[in-house]
Structure 1
Amino acid sequence: MTTLAGKTALITGAGSGMGRETARLLAADGAAVALLGRRQDVLDGVAKEIRADGGTALPIAADITSADDLTRALGRVHAELGPVDVLVNNAGSSSSVLNPQWLPHEEWRQVLEVNLTAVFQLTQAVLPGMLDRGAGTIVTVSSLAAVTPNLLGGAAYGAAKAGVRNFMTFLHTTFRNQGLRAITVLPGEADTPILDSRARPPAADERAHMVQPVDVAEAIRLAVGLPQRVVLQEIVVAPTRQRDTSADLEISRWTGAPTPRP
């Protein structure tokens, strides 16, 4: 497929999980992909895979919560690949303490900076160019935690994901008639590296029935590859089977609690 030939796509959190799979699929469809993430060596590996398949990739290590890092990264993207036609806000972070009774303020701020503020800053940077050209696509990976928040993701994560869902809806209602497609993807429980930091990391047999990174990437690929006249405003990607999470919720409830428990 070459549906994105001549387009530049910028993907955050591109070193692993959903970001990596999205970068591979958009590159296969002809887009030149800019890969943003924290670890240069991991991004270099993804870029090598894409280039081996005939694609174009530019790996850039950056802290997406740093305005200076984003300015530097976007400068390289514009200089080497051109203006950003597609922005995929995929990078995410969760707190180690899930219960708001004991959630440290610094963890709350960090989760909102990665999942919400960074999305705003990147959007603000690419939006003027998209509006000037009368076309552009911004995809943000939110979560079903935005709809049904609970102790699996935690208070900060749910709040941040609800915030970006609201922000993307704002973009849709405000700029759709100027050619902007604002798309929110709401994955259910997914087998990504973020699960490793949970209070009780799910076992392999549990992860096998979860949404896989490539499933979300395929949804993004579909939404981005459709004609500019069409927008899939909101996409839910959920596991067919719903597992029993009661034990996980109970463990999460007490993570970070003082000893002895109240």
Structure 2
Amino acid sequence: MTTLAGKIALITGAGSGMGLKTAQLLARDGATVVLIGRRQEALDSVEDSIRADGGIAHAMRADITDADDVTRVLDRVRTELGPVDVLVNNAGSSSSVLNPQWLPHEEWRQVLEVNLTAVFQLTQAVLPGMLGRSTGTIVTVSSLAAVNPNLLGGAAYGAAKAGVRNFMTFLHNTFRNQGLRAITVLPGEADTPILDNRARPPAEEERASMVQPEDVAEAIRLAVTLPQRVVLQEMVVAPTRQRDTSTDIEISRGVGAPADAATQA
């Protein structure tokens, strides 16, 4: 393991869940963490917790789907802190309607913008500096929905997570010999706030056996703190026990359907 002292780590979706836990772990390893998200109050709370633990953190509110906002934040980071050494693309979003029969176009676009397009925009912003220094690490949280898509995550979410997995593999294949480590993390069902938006939010006892945010954060920490000569290209972080999701899937099938859906089928 290597220390992250002197390294700048930018983490999206840092106000809660996996992003919060990842920021705390990387800060404990010495990184200066930049917390990115849409809710300033949540980011400030994470910043306070890291500083109370002796770490260095900077909360910077931004909409990662807005290219101008991305440019503004990255310019501020470079000016005030220095070049980004580690980018963790953690922010995610899912649609409320999961069945492509009824999925509104706007929900489709919003999910792809957060989970795929924003990753591209942030990567494009930090890539020149990393390649210029012949070192850098980009971690993106995809999902097992990328390889086993179904109504649990929904059509838009599965497509976006598959797309970002492909993009990260492209980065690995294209730039590894220029010193870039491109790492994809594929969590299985995880107990994060995104579950609250499901057609049937899982009960507490179901969530207890799922992957926890700190589990994914530990995987990210491992990948980031290994020597630069080593890349964990892809990591699956899944629950040991797999629960029966058939009821959830059937409930999700009809969400967003018009009242006369049965007669249209």
Q: Please show how residues 208-247 of structure 1 align to structure 2 within 5 Å.
A: 208-247=208-247
**1:101: which partner in 2?**
101
Deviation at 1:79, TM superposition (A): 1.7
- The superposition leaves residues 23-81 of structure 1 with CA deviations (integer Å, 9 ceiling, x where unpaired) of 00000000000000010011000000101111111101111000111111111211222
Q: 1:194 and 1:80 mapped to 2: Cα distance? A: 33
Q: 1:99 and 1:169 mapped to 2: Cα distance? A: 28
SS in structure 1 at match of 2:58: strand
Q: Return structure 1 stretches of 4+ with deviation > 3 angstroms.
A: none
Aligned pair 1:87/2:87, yes or no? yes
Q: 1:6 and 1:252 mapped to 2: Cα distance? A: 46
- The one-letter amino acid paired with 1:25 is L
Aligned pair 1:146/2:146, yes or no? yes
**2:255: which partner in 1?**
255
Q: 1:81 and 1:90 mapped to 2: Cα distance? A: 21
**2:26: which partner in 1?**
26
**2:192: which partner in 1?**
192
- The one-letter amino acid paired with 2:42 is V
Ranges in structure 2 where 5+ consecutive residues have no aligned partner: none
Q: 1:17 and 1:184 mapped to 2: Cα distance? A: 18
**1:142·1:185 contact (CA, 8 Å) conserved in 2?**
yes
**1:180: which partner in 2?**
180
SS in structure 2 at match of 1:47: helix
Q: 1:76 and 1:111 mapped to 2: Cα distance? A: 27
- The one-letter amino acid paired with 1:132 is G
Q: 2:12 and 2:191 mapped to 1: Cα distance? A: 18
**1:2·1:28 contact (CA, 8 Å) conserved in 2?**
no
Deviation at 1:2, TM superposition (A): 6.9
Higher mean Cα deviation, 87-96 or 64-73? Answer: 64-73
Q: 2:90 and 2:226 mapped to 1: Cα distance? A: 20
Ranges in structure 1 where 5+ consecutive residues have no aligned partner: none
Q: 1:130 and 1:89 mapped to 2: Cα distance? A: 16
Q: Over aligned residue pairs, what C-alpha RMSD do you find?
A: 0.9
Question: What's the % identity of the aligned pairs?
Answer: 83
**TM-score (normalizing by structure 2):** 0.98
SS in structure 1 at match of 2:218: helix
**2:49: which partner in 1?**
49
- The one-letter amino acid paired with 2:83 is P
- The one-letter amino acid paired with 2:44 is D
Higher mean Cα deviation, 53-62 or 133-142? Answer: 53-62
Q: 1:65 and 1:74 mapped to 2: Cα distance? A: 14
- The one-letter amino acid paired with 2:68 is D
- The one-letter amino acid paired with 1:112 is L
- The one-letter amino acid paired with 1:175 is F
